[in-house]
Amino acid sequence: MCDGDSRDNAAYARPPLACRQSVYYMLNHMVQFSKSRLDASFAALSDATRRGVLEQLGRADASITDLAEKFRMTLTGMKKHVSVLEQAGLVTTKKVGRVRTCKLGARRLAEETAWIEAYRQLWASRFDELDKVIEEQKQKQMVDRRKKRE
């Protein structure tokens, strides 16, 4: 539909909203510039390989070649994973000669931890309230059963 399909029907007089040039630009602009630090961190942490790389680098610095061998993947694949971690500020790299060494970035996950903790507290309080309601319902059922027996 976005290729300029011309039909006699009035509904097709203008291209769909998502195909219009100005809206397309706006949507692209929003996608490119709305990413926050949390988004980058959680995106980086969403992949098991990248979490493994962070765990490995927590033990010792390593070259991309060493990491690729450890995770049984190509150099190109590992470079992409390291790049995502580096963009999130979780890893830094340094090239000496032909070897690119990776180490944990200076950035700690304090902001991410605080975000998770806020939601943990929210859900904990909600579950506490739910426990109270359930307990009240159980007590009410017990009273109702006693009344029926009498």
Q: CA–CA separation, 146 vs 150, rounded Å?
A: 6
Question: Could you report the per-residue pLDDT of 59-68, keeping only the tens digit for each?
Answer: 999 999 999 9
pLDDT single digits (tens) 86-145: 999 999 999 999 999 999 988 778 888 888 999 999 999 999 999 999 999 999 999 888
Specify the higher pLDDT residue, 23 or 124: 124
The residue extents of the domains of the chain are: 1-34, 37-104, 108-150
Dist CA 100 CA 57 (whole Å): 13
- pTM, rounded to two decimals: 0.62
3-state helix, strand, coil in the chain (%, to 5): 65, 10, 25
Mean pLDDT of the chain: 82
- The domain over range 37-104 is classified in CATH as 1.10.10.10: yes
Tokens of 129: 């309230």
Question: How distant is the alpha carbon of residue 95 from its chain centre?
Answer: 28
